[in-house]
Structure 1
Amino acid sequence: MKFPTKKLFLSTVVAASIAVFPQLGEHSNAHAATMNTHQVLNYGETNSSVKALQEKLKDLNYYHDALDGIYGNNTKKAVKSYQSDHGLAADGIAGPNTLGKLFSTASVSTKKVTKTVTTDLEKGDHGQAVKDLQSRLNALGYKTGGVDGIFGNNTLKAVKAFQTDQGLHADGVVGPNTRAALANPKAVSAEHTASKTTASQVNDIIADAKALIGTPYVWGGTTPSGFDCSGFTSYVFAKNGMTLPRTAAAQWSAGQSVSAPAKGDLVFFATTGSGVSHVGIYIGNGQFINASTSKGVVISDMDNSYWKPRYLGAKSF
């Protein structure tokens, strides 16, 4: 009489397993099971809930960076983008309303997938391809209002202005013909060639450069955790919508020669041999800001005994 009892017990265990774990294979429900949707997650926090938030946003194609559990700028931007797309207050704070809606959504992206550079770009698109577009337009003098990876009204206006100057159909869609023209523009109107760097941009470039004083020197460094000389100039200019070549020598080749540097121009030096090997940003009064190998990002005097004999010239962008 014990055998049926044992059989009944095993059947009960199997049934309970099915009842308790019916959806362990479903990624979104696994997230939901571990997320307290009544909490508030905000910029600067570091914990497992932030990591679960990042995982969910990544499932839905809003977050594309490391799952590190750190609520930084990229996480905040992803939250704001999700909130904007779902009728929530786009404040970048993941509170109960945002978390509740986010974790009740199946892990199937409802967001438009980021397009690659070989796919048409149009208003409403997001991602690296849009950043690349904005950087190129800004470098040609068509101001997009920043390089944020969001194809909004300012980027649309810049694309249309460029298309008009190139004799293309000005529909604001970056298709094959517009991409080809961006890579090799036939002509740019005087309005957009007269001054690639505006007075406002110059002030912003200098302010952004000064904000990085004290950043250590790192060979090959391109981020605020450490810069080399051309990584520093490239980073500061990119923050202001202008794409520079990566190396000091390439920046020298790309710029327009000037007889004397003005604020915001790049100044170049030969520190090893006779060719260009160092670059900095001229800030006026005979001074430039640069990522030096010995002191990191500092302000230096162009007329001191080290820099003056090594100065090669200045280029504007």
Structure 2
Amino acid sequence: MTVVGVLHPGSMGAAVAAQARLGGAEVLWCPTGRSSETTERALRHGLSAASSLAELIERADVILSICPPEYAEDVAVEVSAHSFTGIYVDANAIAPATVACVHAIMSRTQGTVVDGSIIGSPPSASKSTRIYLSGPAEALPPVASLFAGTSVQVHSLPGGIGRASALKLSYSSYQKASRVLAAVSYALARDYGVEEELLDIAQGRTTSYLAETAYIPKVAARSWRWGPEMGEVAIALREAGLPTDLAEASAAVMSQWNDLKDSPSSITEALEHLHVAPDGDPG
């Protein structure tokens, strides 16, 4: 039986790890320093608790790193400190340059890095999710096999590390920035009392995020994670010689919602947090 370690089981990480367990793998996680919510989530998904990070790393054949992007390098440093020599899948929303840093970190202990990107919502019995993989050709099939027959659809990309992350950020740079732009549009329309008219216009364009006003509070609650992801988008764009303004501006807008972290809110509350006082502080 393949042993998989997941670092750290947030809503996406736990759901993806659960699919690997359904595929026949034993999935370990480390409770040390994790919250009660994380513990409940791991138990609900049937993950097995390791006594320590050292035990998880020693036993795991494959490690899945699925965490907020700003912690990706720190997690790699933790794992490399325990001389992991298996397959390390960095499935975080990070720039190709950041993946290269992770690769350099893991190379110290001869660990094999696979670049991964997750597209979609957390997988479940009723909802499928895509994972794109790139990296050493011999390392991709063992990772793909973890999810055979599950709700995770694996797509392998030719070429080395960085391609999967580039795909993720190419998608994110539009998908997440569009959500932010929709929120700003509604904030402006609301200030002038024309939000119903804006919604009427948007509903004539069924593919527009402007028609999905109920999603705005979800964007606000997730911006503590999405903001750093847009910072990684900016890194990727800068490397390619493309404008970074929208990505950087989106991250700045998302910072207005930092105190709504994972908190349910109304559309009105989410839009109010977008207002900036004349002195530049949130109004």
Q: Same fold (TM over 0.5)?
A: no
Q: Which has the higher contact order (CA 8 A, sep 6+)?
A: 2
Decide which structure has the larger Cα Rg and report it.
Answer: 1
TM-score (norm 2): 0.31
Give the structure with the higher percent helix.
2
TM-score normalised by structure 1 residue count: 0.29
